[in-house]
Amino acid sequence: MAPKVGIIMGSDSDLPVMKEAAKILEEFGVEYEITIVSAHRTPERMYEYAKRARERGIEVIIAGAGGAAHLPGMTASITTLPVIGVPVKSRALNGLDSLLSIVQMPAGVPVATVAINNAKNAALLALRILSIKYPEIAEKLEKYMEDMRRTVEEKAKRLEEVGWAKYLGEDD
Amino acid sequence: MAPKVGIIMGSDSDLPVMKEAAKILEEFGVEYEITIVSAHRTPERMYEYAKRARERGIEVIIAGAGGAAHLPGMTASITTLPVIGVPVKSRALNGLDSLLSIVQMPAGVPVATVAINNAKNAALLALRILSIKYPEIAEKLEKYMEDMRRTVEEKAKRLEEVGWAKYLGEDD
Amino acid sequence: MAPKVGIIMGSDSDLPVMKEAAKILEEFGVEYEITIVSAHRTPERMYEYAKRARERGIEVIIAGAGGAAHLPGMTASITTLPVIGVPVKSRALNGLDSLLSIVQMPAGVPVATVAINNAKNAALLALRILSIKYPEIAEKLEKYMEDMRRTVEEKAKRLEEVGWAKYLGEDD
Amino acid sequence: MAPKVGIIMGSDSDLPVMKEAAKILEEFGVEYEITIVSAHRTPERMYEYAKRARERGIEVIIAGAGGAAHLPGMTASITTLPVIGVPVKSRALNGLDSLLSIVQMPAGVPVATVAINNAKNAALLALRILSIKYPEIAEKLEKYMEDMRRTVEEKAKRLEEVGWAKYLGEDD
Amino acid sequence: MAPKVGIIMGSDSDLPVMKEAAKILEEFGVEYEITIVSAHRTPERMYEYAKRARERGIEVIIAGAGGAAHLPGMTASITTLPVIGVPVKSRALNGLDSLLSIVQMPAGVPVATVAINNAKNAALLALRILSIKYPEIAEKLEKYMEDMRRTVEEKAKRLEEVGWAKYLGEDD
Amino acid sequence: MAPKVGIIMGSDSDLPVMKEAAKILEEFGVEYEITIVSAHRTPERMYEYAKRARERGIEVIIAGAGGAAHLPGMTASITTLPVIGVPVKSRALNGLDSLLSIVQMPAGVPVATVAINNAKNAALLALRILSIKYPEIAEKLEKYMEDMRRTVEEKAKRLEEVGWAKYLGEDD
Amino acid sequence: MAPKVGIIMGSDSDLPVMKEAAKILEEFGVEYEITIVSAHRTPERMYEYAKRARERGIEVIIAGAGGAAHLPGMTASITTLPVIGVPVKSRALNGLDSLLSIVQMPAGVPVATVAINNAKNAALLALRILSIKYPEIAEKLEKYMEDMRRTVEEKAKRLEEVGWAKYLGEDD
Amino acid sequence: MAPKVGIIMGSDSDLPVMKEAAKILEEFGVEYEITIVSAHRTPERMYEYAKRARERGIEVIIAGAGGAAHLPGMTASITTLPVIGVPVKSRALNGLDSLLSIVQMPAGVPVATVAINNAKNAALLALRILSIKYPEIAEKLEKYMEDMRRTVEEKAKRLEEVGWAKYLGEDD
């Protein structure tokens, strides 16, 4: 089956962050592809990737990059698909540069930006987008949020019962 | 026809910014609704709006808010629809507070954040999202980008021909 | 005896920070409850918690959260009790996002914000608030401040006597 | 009747901001006093004010200051009353300096910080604090929030009915 | 004569800033061309421009852009010519976003970044670059700096003679 | 009499800010000189100024500059006199760049930095420095602070008497 | 002999930073005293310290503090001596809060601010101040700067001779 | 052969960052010199270095410095050669101070600023500058970019073939 989501990143050093997107899509059983596309080192490859994504069946692109992060915005300038940008935390400025480089796009070319390093949310946003077309994904999302709710409630119950000291293993 | 896009904002003082989203949707002929939903002053209304949006046929929610901007994130925590957040420029901190309050969502609940005050891009992102389901919107987006391209090229041609001084009306 | 202070936090990962509030309340002998309430993952639980806090006898709520930290503000939008917000230090932006998300509340719904990660001060602020109703807490606060004063003076005296090198154990 | 709330500010240039606190207290019928107390130009006056506030019947202090804003924190170091800090917007740094100078207090001495220039919220926070002792204030706060809710809903209804263009007076 | 310097900008709204570069080049008698090339709205035009710049005789490219400013970095990723980036002041974040988007390029693809809105310095930097090949430009730069020096000294002399009040026209 | 204080600035556009220093020194009857010395446009002049300041009888140098503000630090690297730096508010970044360029000096070469645009405080700091040598300046400083105190107290008294509305001329 | 310089800090946790000031003063043979004075935990002690410093023979005060750092500014509001502020690096915001709390003092009360954590420069600034009264300190400062110069030149010479690889011990 | 590029830095503690520039120049076979020149500790040496660089055959200067980083800008104020500034990451503010101190130069004296700590890009920028005069360097730059492209493509191919888990060695 053709992948619905394309995960791209500027460098393989972004992979430990971006793999979280892949894991969520696997958990939801949604086909994806994952590869490296550098706006700065492979501009033609980026152009080709973005230009042909829709005709290849891709429906959402997740693009991660750090520093002067141009990959998400440039991809969005070539395709009309929804592009989700993941600002990867940078060494000096902690990802503030990545965030601003991705989110502050000029009128005309939007990038759907998520939190710094939050590739997991990029995948969940891709799933929300797909859910308007694929009802089964909407159902799985309902269940996912239900599970999150239950997990919090169970932890809350335990904390209420045992107190903070025991919960943290500091009670002796 | 039922609206596909719901535009909400925390206060009517956000309307001069958020109307740009409405104008784009009108230009594309996509049905939308627009109203005020305040996370802080009408939390129950917000809950109801988000909870029932999908069953009412809404497919994308655009939420604008400023300062400690909780509307987009709270809406996204109640619905599984894609929620687009517009950080409205705030008086003291120029929208940096709005941006961080909207984009830095914890893992589990994504908000698709666009640039500060850029409601136009929020609408264009909503259209990109809808385009995966409605091919006619994809076509209109192609045309929209083509028009942007042509406009730039025409301006470029004129600038090249007349020079910067004449272009700016400073040439005498 | 019913708890006077409710300590809530968005995630159990905030507990190592928030436990400092609990420790201060224990030190002052003020009843409290502590639990997990996530604005984003358990919005209904948050609503219920905030809605019923006052009738359950809670007089002050301390709410800690990080990143796009909506818990304190949303809680304050549902209850009329004083809500103290603790911005928990976030990984990428060191809590600047948490701080702005909590403190920059719009007119109408205040959150009493303390320093990043300073749950201890949140508890001391709760005690100052309670002290306007419970004179014995006012007395204990006087003593607490007196103790702080004395501790500083003793350290100062020792530093003056032994010098900085010996004080730091660097004098040989 | 003795004032319950003391509003102080570092300079009369802060009065156009701080008067909003006075107006809210007047609206709620809560006695207050308002004066100028400069941490830097009248340190002894500040000391006296803070030292004697509780014995004079003051129950909450609202302190506004800008730039290197020391008044709220210094006041809190002398009294055990709850002190609410209002960071006044500064000329160069837009109040970021005021905010950090007020909110980042060290462990031991809390200041309940509200948003930049948001003296209105400082008063509403003072009322929430007083509400734990004076039930009639709690009732008035409920009504205040109810009014806010209704105002938003009425505006929302009008916007839904007339559309954004008419709402903004741009419809011809 | 073929232009040695290409001045490009993302939008004609940048022209009032970027014209300062043109004026300096005119003052120095160095041929330049000036046009609009948008990374986001005309990505193919940008590609063509950058790809063919060197063969067309261009020796330095000055690229101005604001917000998520990708034009300088993308141009530098396609050509091996020196590319000078001018961060244009943006509405919300005053050009901090433009600056970080331009300067924080990853290893491999440098952009020579100048100060926010300082297109004049971009042109002077282009001239310094050209000066290593064209000795007459080096001479003109020496003279330019000498003139700057003399202007300052004349102003200094006048200020020393008449005093600050007369200098500012406040002396009566 | 030889001037004790040298006021220098990078450009005559800084004069409207820096004149405040001159006015304070005139008020205190302390001899000063004021001139323009640009680190970047007159580096040799700067070197000469700093190198000979002490032998000419100057005891404190006040240096104002904006943006990448190098004048105070470079002056301090050439003289052993105390150098006070005034970060002049810059157009794009509001003086944050000026402040960091002046205050963040490496170990070995200190600059006594005051608040952005606060040339008045630079002069008062120069007077405090001179006061350790000239007892009459210490006396005048005591009086100056006493006057500040009295002014605040008079304003406070008036505000207490007439209320905020009348004080602001809004009472009808 | 009575100390000329008073080194104070808000907490003994600042001592590892502040000791660098003591070491420089020892190296120059200038008498100093060092102690703990907390603006927030010992406000009366601070008042007494500042009030009596001049009469006790102190000529310069060095005050270090972190976070909402009020000690330098408050000390400067009570004494007319020159006060040097050392912003101590804070845990969450890396000392940006400390810096702004110290440097952004309102007109009337200056603090001579040095770089974050740079207590060494605070001492060197104190020495520059003292040097206007004590010529022998001026001479020692000349020698200190001469030594710094020589050290750099020796390192430079070695780097030029052996190359970067050998200099860093990476040459095999 | 005389060196074409001069690499200077404010302190030998910058060498681990700046050596990356040297390594690139070695890789390209371009002669360079590397030494220490401190604006603050050796101002005369800096003056001499900058003043005589062009006559000694230097064509580009790369200057690295941290904190209140004045070396690149001061060098550029003395020579007419192109000066590339490398903001070295500082301890407290992560290089934001270094970046602003270098990039925000006033009109008249440009510094070609690269990313924080990115000495590698400084060298590549120097090579781009030299390439307008030395065609063989242009060719080598083409090859360098081609190699970067190929490396990315090979990594991309491997990631596509083996998947993220195997690529990261997490697949068992």
Is the confidence at residue C80, as pLDDT, over 70? yes
> In which band, very low, low, confident or very high, does the pLDDT at E172 lie, cut at 50, 70 and 90?
low
DSSP three-state, residue D64? strand
pLDDT digits (tens, 9 = 90+) for C83-100: 999 999 999 899 999 999
Pairwise CB contact (< 8 Å): E42 & B149: yes
Our CA-based measurement puts residue E82 at a distance from the nearest CA of chain H, in whole angstroms, of 5
pLDDT at F171: 75
What mean pLDDT, rounded, does chain E reach? 97
Helices F96-103 & F71-78 angle (0-180, nearest 10)? 10
The C-alpha atoms of residue G76 and residue G62 are separated, in whole angstroms, by: 10
User: Which chain B residues have a beta carbon less than 8 Å from that of C109?
Assistant: 40-41
Please check whether residue D10 is in contact with residue D65, taking contact to mean a CB–CB distance below 8 angstroms: yes
Chains F and B touch (3+ CB pairs under 8 A): no
Chains H and G touch (3+ CB pairs under 8 A): yes
Q: Nearest by CB to B102, which of C68, C92, C103?
A: C68
The C-alpha atoms of residue E139 and residue E137 are separated, in whole angstroms, by: 5
CB-based contact, A72 to chain H, within 8 Å: no
pLDDT at F108: 97
- CB-hemisphere CA count at 13 Å for E1? 7
pLDDT digits (tens, 9 = 90+) for E78-123: 999 999 999 999 998 999 999 999 999 999 999 999 999 999 999 9
The C-alpha atoms of residue G140 and residue G134 are separated, in whole angstroms, by: 10
Average of per-residue pLDDT across H144-169: 97
Chain G residue closest in CA terms to F111: G114
Residue G113 to residues D19, F105, G18: CA-CA distances in angstroms? 33, 11, 14
pLDDT digits (tens, 9 = 90+) for F68-116: 999 999 999 999 999 999 999 999 899 999 999 999 999 999 999 999 9
Plot region of H62 (φ>0 → left; ψ -120 to 50 → alpha; else → beta): beta
> How many residues in total does chain F contain?
172
The C-alpha atoms of residue F80 and residue G147 are separated, in whole angstroms, by: 13
Our CA-based measurement puts residue H58 at a distance from the nearest CA of chain A, in whole angstroms, of 30
pLDDT at A111: 98
What mean pLDDT, rounded, does chain H reach? 97
Give Cβ neighbours of residue B16 (< 8 Å, ≥ 6 apart): D168
pLDDT at D172: 60
DSSP three-state, residue G107? coil
**CB burial class (10 A; 0-12, 13-18, 19+) of residue F97?**
buried
Torsion of CA D10, D11, D13, D16, to 10 degrees: 60
pLDDT digits (tens, 9 = 90+) for G20-32: 999 999 999 999 9
Chain A residue closest in CA terms to B82: A128
pLDDT at E171: 75
Of A159, C73, E128, E48, the C-alpha closest to B69 is C73
Exposure string of E35-55, with b = 16+ CB inside 10 Å and e = fewer, is bbbbbbbbbebbbebbeebbe
User: Which chain D residues have a beta carbon less than 8 Å from that of G40?
Assistant: 73-74, 76-77, 105-106, 108-109
Chain E residue closest in CA terms to A90: E104
The C-alpha atoms of residue F60 and residue D68 are separated, in whole angstroms, by: 25
What mean pLDDT, rounded, does chain F reach? 97
User: Which chain D residues have a beta carbon less than 8 Å from that of G12?
Assistant: none
Is the confidence at residue D171, as pLDDT, over 80? no
CB-based contact, E124 to chain H, within 8 Å: yes
User: Which chain H residues have a beta carbon less than 8 Å from that of G89?
Assistant: 91-92
> In which band, very low, low, confident or very high, does the pLDDT at C171 lie, cut at 50, 70 and 90?
confident
User: Which chain C residues have a beta carbon less than 8 Å from that of D114?
Assistant: 103, 105, 110-113
pLDDT at G172: 60
Q: Nearest by CB to D168, which of B16, B36, B45?
A: B16
Phi, psi torsion values for C92, nearest 5 degrees: -80, -50
CB-based contact, F159 to chain G, within 8 Å: no
Is the confidence at residue B172, as pLDDT, over 80? no
User: Is F90 a known ligand-binding residue?
Assistant: no
**CB burial class (10 A; 0-12, 13-18, 19+) of residue B1?**
exposed
Give the other-Cβ count within 10 Å of A148's Cβ: 18
User: Is D13 a known ligand-binding residue?
Assistant: no
Residue to test with chain F: of E153, E164, E168, most F Cβ within 10 A: E164
The C-alpha atoms of residue E120 and residue H105 are separated, in whole angstroms, by: 11
Between E131 and C172, where is the model more confident? E131
Of D83, D121, D78, D120, the C-alpha closest to D102 is D83
Q: Please, which chains are in contact with C (at least 3 CB pairs closer than 8 A)? A: A, B, D, G
CB-based contact, B120 to chain A, within 8 Å: yes
> In which band, very low, low, confident or very high, does the pLDDT at H120 lie, cut at 50, 70 and 90?
very high
Is the confidence at residue C154, as pLDDT, over 80? yes
Pairwise CB contact (< 8 Å): D138 & C54: yes
Average of per-residue pLDDT across C8-23: 98
The string of DSSP letters for F124-163 reads: HHHHHHHHTT-HHHHHHHHHHHHHHHHHHHHHHHHHHHHH
Average of per-residue pLDDT across E49-72: 98
Pairwise CB contact (< 8 Å): H70 & F66: no
Which residue type is seen at D118?
A: N
Average of per-residue pLDDT across H29-55: 98
Of B141, B137, B126, the C-alpha closest to B58 is B126
Is the confidence at residue H172, as pLDDT, over 90? no
Pairwise CB contact (< 8 Å): G160 & H35: yes
CB-based contact, D16 to chain B, within 8 Å: no
Of B39, B40, B36, the C-alpha closest to B19 is B36
Binding residues of G are: 11, 14, 41
CATH numeric code, B5-133:
3.40.50.1970
CB-based contact, H151 to chain G, within 8 Å: no
Please check whether residue B31 is in contact with residue B1, taking contact to mean a CB–CB distance below 8 angstroms: yes
Torsion of CA C113, C117, C122, C124, to 10 degrees: -130
The C-alpha atoms of residue H71 and residue H66 are separated, in whole angstroms, by: 9
- Using 50 as the pLDDT threshold, list the residues of chain A that sit under it: none
Please check whether residue C132 is in contact with residue D60, taking contact to mean a CB–CB distance below 8 angstroms: yes
Torsion of CA G140, G142, G147, G150, to 10 degrees: -160
User: Is E171 a known ligand-binding residue?
Assistant: no
The C-alpha atoms of residue B151 and residue H22 are separated, in whole angstroms, by: 46
pLDDT digits (tens, 9 = 90+) for B24-74: 999 999 999 999 999 999 999 999 999 999 999 999 999 999 999 999 999
Residue indicated by tokens 């959260």 = C65
Q: Nearest by CB to H101, which of F10, F68, F111?
A: F68
Pairwise CB contact (< 8 Å): E115 & H122: no
The string of DSSP letters for B113-167 reads: E--TT-HHHHHHHHHHHHTTT-HHHHHHHHHHHHHHHHHHHHHHHHHHHHHHHHH
The C-alpha atoms of residue E6 and residue E59 are separated, in whole angstroms, by: 8
What mean pLDDT, rounded, does chain B reach? 97
Give Cβ neighbours of residue A5 (< 8 Å, ≥ 6 apart): A25, A30, A31, A32, A33, A58, A59, A60, A61, A62, A123, A126, A130
Q: How many CB pairs under 8 A join B and D?
A: 57
Give Cβ neighbours of residue A97 (< 8 Å, ≥ 6 apart): A66, A67, A68, A69, A90, E100, E101, E104
Take residue H47 and report the two structure tokens written for it: 């003056």
Q: How far apart are the first and last CA of chain F?
A: 56
The C-alpha atoms of residue C118 and residue D102 are separated, in whole angstroms, by: 13
CB-based contact, C93 to chain B, within 8 Å: yes
The C-alpha atoms of residue C137 and residue C124 are separated, in whole angstroms, by: 10
Q: Please, which chains are in contact with D (at least 3 CB pairs closer than 8 A)? A: B, C, F, G
User: Which chain C residues have a beta carbon less than 8 Å from that of D108?
Assistant: 120-121, 124, 145, 148
Q: What is the percent of chain C where pLDDT is above 90? A: 96
Is the pTM higher than 0.95? The answer reads: yes
Of G97, G32, G39, the C-alpha closest to G62 is G32
Cα four-point dihedral sign G41, G44, G45, G46: positive
Beta bridge partners of C8: C35, C63
Of F109, F84, D101, the C-alpha closest to G71 is D101
Average of per-residue pLDDT across G99-126: 98
The C-alpha atoms of residue B129 and residue D156 are separated, in whole angstroms, by: 26
- Alpha-helical runs (H) found in E29-92: 43-53, 71-78
Pairwise CB contact (< 8 Å): D110 & C130: no
Give Cβ neighbours of residue B30 (< 8 Å, ≥ 6 apart): B4, B5, B126, B127, B130, B137
The C-alpha atoms of residue A67 and residue A93 are separated, in whole angstroms, by: 8
Of D144, D85, D140, the C-alpha closest to D117 is D85
Phi, psi torsion values for G56, nearest 5 degrees: -80, 0
ipTM over 0.85: yes
pLDDT digits (tens, 9 = 90+) for G66-90: 999 999 999 999 999 999 999 999 9
Chains E and G touch (3+ CB pairs under 8 A): no
Torsion of CA F54, F57, F63, F68, to 10 degrees: -20
**Nearest-5° angle of CA E118, CA E119, CA E124?**
100
Cα four-point dihedral sign B160, B165, B168, B169: negative
